Amino acid sequence: MASLRPLRTTSALRTLSQSTKPSPYVCRRITTTPNLQHNTTVDPSEVTHFNALASTWWDPHGSSRLLHLMNPLRHTFISRCHSSQPDAPPTNHKLSYLDVGCGGGIFAESAARLRGTGSVTAIDPSPEVLSVAKAHAKRDPGLVEMMGEGRLKYLNTSIEELPLPGTQRGRQYDIVTLFEVLEHVTHPSPFLEHLLPFVKPGGWLVLSTIARTWTSWLTTKVVAEEVVGIVPRGTHDWNKYINEGELREWFGNKEGWGNVRAMGVVYVPGLGWREVPGSEGLGNYFFGVRREGEGKGV
């Protein structure tokens, strides 16, 4: 997989980046020149992997337990992004969400239930997990009602196939979310490029992912997948991880994007996920960036 990746590393570090041993010194620069073989950034092997996990997605003690436990922090982080705005979002405005890589719908369901939510569109390229998401939403009459009104939508599509804003049926969203997805994307730069137009001016792109460090290799690959087995083997490819600094740099070069915020989180067995300031450089972190412009002041 590493050979297919559009990474541009310095020649001195190239050998390290392609060896199986992780190194925190590898610089994974997110390039702006896509090198695509298909018209999608979705990796078929990832779709297969998550199809296989679909059945246990909502088991509270199953393979997605860590994701379930992390979900409340996603809302915490989004609230913090909003409260960091110089212009406070109007209280009566109902937010629209686009959840990219929604999986079984953990975040999409929770966002849909919030009082301040107008609509949620959740997309995922894996048909199996998407059918899990739809079947699970059927357990909640409130969500069923929202789906009936078209305010909660699950779409089996990649971001590239979603109608672009400005085109027929295309639209923009107050919040575009990308939770635990970026580390599964082979070509992160073109993928992010595809996402950006979907954010309303004044809206936020909010994501969470894993930094590529010694710590994250040890915790997410060795401990989580091999020793404890809390995450199914093969879920993560450490080489795909992206560091907070890399994202910051990438968005720093993007005109019209700012207000970058990050929050590092650490899983403490027995306690759950805890915010640890500074840990965005170590492992799991949230990242938020705001699209400049008037918009609706969101």
Q: Which is nearer to other proteins, 140 or 193 (CB)?
A: 140
Contact region with other proteins (CB under 8 A), list: 49-57, 138-146, 158-166, 273-281 = 138-146
Task: In whole angstroms, give the CA distance from residue 179 to residue 108.
Answer: 11
- For other proteins, the binding residue among 113, 153, 171, 261 (CB under 8 A) is 113
Per-residue binding string, other proteins, 57-76, x by CB under 8 A, is: ---xx------xx-xx--x-
Task: In whole angstroms, give the CA distance from residue 233 to residue 135.
Answer: 26
Q: Is 110 in the site for other proteins (CB under 8 A)?
A: yes
Task: In whole angstroms, give the CA distance from residue 253 to residue 103.
Answer: 30
Residue 132 CB partners (closer than 8 Å, separation 6+): 54, 55, 57, 58, 104, 105
- As given in the structure block, the two tokens for residue 226 are 């091999």
Q: Is 138 in the site for other proteins (CB under 8 A)?
A: yes
Task: In whole angstroms, give the CA distance from residue 7 to residue 43.
Answer: 15
Secondary structure of residue 177 in the 3-state scheme: strand
- For other proteins, the binding residue among 86, 90, 141, 150 (CB under 8 A) is 141
- For other proteins, the binding residue among 87, 145, 226, 249 (CB under 8 A) is 145
Question: Can you point out the beta strands (E) in 86-221?
Answer: 95-100, 117-123, 152-155, 173-179, 199-210
Minimal distance, residue 131 CB to other proteins, in Å: 13
Residue among 105, 104, 101, 85 at smallest CA distance from 93: 85
Task: In whole angstroms, give the CA distance from residue 4 to residue 185.
Answer: 12
Q: Is 139 in the site for other proteins (CB under 8 A)?
A: yes
Q: Which is nearer to other proteins, 54 or 242 (CB)?
A: 54
Minimal distance, residue 103 CB to other proteins, in Å: 15
- For other proteins, the binding residue among 140, 193, 225, 246 (CB under 8 A) is 140
124 appears as a binding residue in the annotation: yes
Q: Is 142 in the site for other proteins (CB under 8 A)?
A: yes
Q: Which residues bind other proteins (CB under 8 A)?
A: 60-61, 68-69, 71-72, 75, 109-115, 117, 135, 138-142, 144-145, 148
